Structure 1
Amino acid sequence: MIRLENVSKTFGENRVLRGLNLHVPRGTSMVIIGGSGTGKSVTLKCVLGLVTPDSGRILVDGRDATEGDRDAFLSRFGMLFQGGALFDSLPVWQNVAFRHLRGALKRPQYEAKALAVEKLRRVGLKPEVADLLPAELSGGMQKRVGLARAIAADPEIIFFDEPTTGLDPIMAGVINELIREIVTEMGATALTITHDMSSVRAIADNVAMLHDGVIQWTGPVSEMDHSGDPYLDQFIHGRAEGPIEAVR
């Protein structure tokens, strides 16, 4: 579903991506891991067209991601943002149904609200949450609202940016379980970036280790612990000693 071929991106003198190659099969869950500043978020932004690579090619469903109608292209994606990114002045249901109220999928308000309530139910939130403001919710509830918004338009591809950041271990486990269930139910292709190894083990079919602007290792999550790759081994076990130099 998603293929990056020799993608490079430089910001000033900072070479972030250095010929990155990655293949995300249709209907699978790929998780990209790697240290801070290694280019994980830039990779997502390149796929979405928010950042233009200096070289290389990005294909989505076999078509060049830079060609064709942008609105139609973006309508295929859902996104769960790291910080939730909810509109604080809008009630929860309007956040969830935002595309259906103001975008190309525009529906009457009563239909949009009914859809939002259904998606909130799917992520374990009661109907009365729909009329609250984001500030009235806990961090875990805000994350669930963000997930409901990500799936509201039944996207083919869903991106998850650090989905468990700021959550306690129990709530992180709940969110991981929800993500896995929903992606499987929808048959969606998922691409996640995270530092949280519990998330990796819970939601990944395949894992890609990004280091120094390239994919250092990629393979099934079941092979991750026995990869034999020193970069991956150091990262997943959190070792200070190894080929990855810690920033001090």
Structure 2
Amino acid sequence: MIEIASLHKSFGVNNVLQGVDLTVESGTSTVIIGGSGTGKSVLLKCILGLVKPDSGTILLDGEDVAKAERDAFLAKFGMLFQGGALFDSMPVWQNVAFRLLRGSLKRPVSEAREIAIEKLRRVGLTPDVAEKFPAELSGGMQKRVGLARAIAAEPQVIFFDEPTTGLDPIMAGVINELIREIVVEMGATAMTITHDMSSVRAIADRVAMLHGGVIRWEGPVAEMDSAADPYLRQFITGSAEGPIEAVR
């Protein structure tokens, strides 16, 4: 579904991506791990066309991202943002149905509302939540609303940006289970950025570690803990000793 080859991106003298190669198979869940500032978010933005790479290619289902028609291209994606990114002035159902109320995916208001309520149910929220505003919801409920929005338009590809940030361990576990269930149900291709190793083990089919501007290691999640790569070993164990220097 996603093929990335020799991707480079710099910001001034800061060489963020220095030759990223990565293939994400259709219907699989790939998790990108790596320290803060290693370029994980930049990589996602390049895939979405929000940041233009300096060189390299990104293909989505065989189509060059750089040449794709924007509306049709973005309609293939759903995204759960790290901070929720809900619109405070809109009730929950309008947040969930945001893409269904405008643009190329526009549906009649009554239909969009029905779909929103259905997706809220799918993430464990009752219909009465639909009329509430984001400020009336807990952090865990807001994250579920964000997940409902991500899947509302039945996307082919779903991005998850630090999906469990700010959640307690129990709610983080709930969100991880929901993500896994939904990705499997929809047959969607998922790409996740996270520092949370419990999330990695819960939702990943494959894991890729980004460090030094390249993919240091990539493979099945079942092989992650036994991998010999010293960068990967240090990251998953959280050790202060190793090739990755702690920023003080």
| Cross-structure match for 2:73 | 73
Amino acid at match of 1:236: I
Q: Which residue of 2 aligns with 1:104?
A: 104
> How far off its partner does 1:103 sit?
2.2
Task: State the distance in 2 between where 1:68 and 1:17 align.
Answer: 22
SS of residue in 2 equivalent to 1:30: strand
Alpha-carbon shift at residue 17 of structure 1 (Å): 0.2
Q: Any idea what the Cα deviations from partners look like across 1:27-76, whole Å, max 9, x if unmatched?
A: 00000000000000000000000000000000000110111311000000
Q: Secondary structure of the residue that 1:53 maps to in structure 2?
A: coil
Do the aligned partners of 2:30 and 2:206 also contact (CA within 8 Å) in 1? yes
Report what 1:38 is aligned to. 38
Q: Residue 13 of structure 2 corresponds to which residue in structure 1? A: 13
Gaps in structure 2 of 5+ consecutive residues: none
Identify the residue that residue 24 of structure 2 maps to in structure 1: 24
SS at match of 1:144: helix
What is residue 197 of structure 2 aligned with on the other side? 197
Q: Tell me how many residue pairs correspond in the alignment.
A: 248
In structure 1, the gaps of 5 or more residues are none
Secondary structure at the aligned position of 1:73 is classed as: helix
Amino acid across the alignment from 1:181: E
Same amino acid, percent of matched pairs? 76
Q: Match for residue 242 of structure 2?
A: 242
Separation in 2, partners of 1:75, 1:108: 17
CA shift, 1:221, in A, is 0.1
Aligned equivalent of 1:217: 217
What corresponds to 1:154 in structure 2? 154
| Cα deviation digits, residues 77-119 of structure 1 (max 9, x gap) | 0000000000000000000001111221112211111110000
**CA deviations over 1:105-156 (Å, ceiling 9, x no partner):** 1122111111100000000000000000000000000000000000000000
Question: Which has the higher mean CA deviation after the structures are superposed, 224-233 or 61-70?
Answer: 61-70
- Helix, strand or coil at the partner of 1:218: strand
Task: Give the deviation of 1:246 after TM superposition.
Answer: 0.4
Q: Deviations over 1:202-231 (max 9, x none)?
A: 000000000011000000000000010100
Runs of 4+ with >3 A deviation: none
Q: Distance in 1 between the 2:194 and 2:154 partners?
A: 23
1:208 and 1:48 map into 2 onto residues whose CA distance is 19
Cα distance in 2, alignment partners of residues 61 and 102 from structure 1: 25
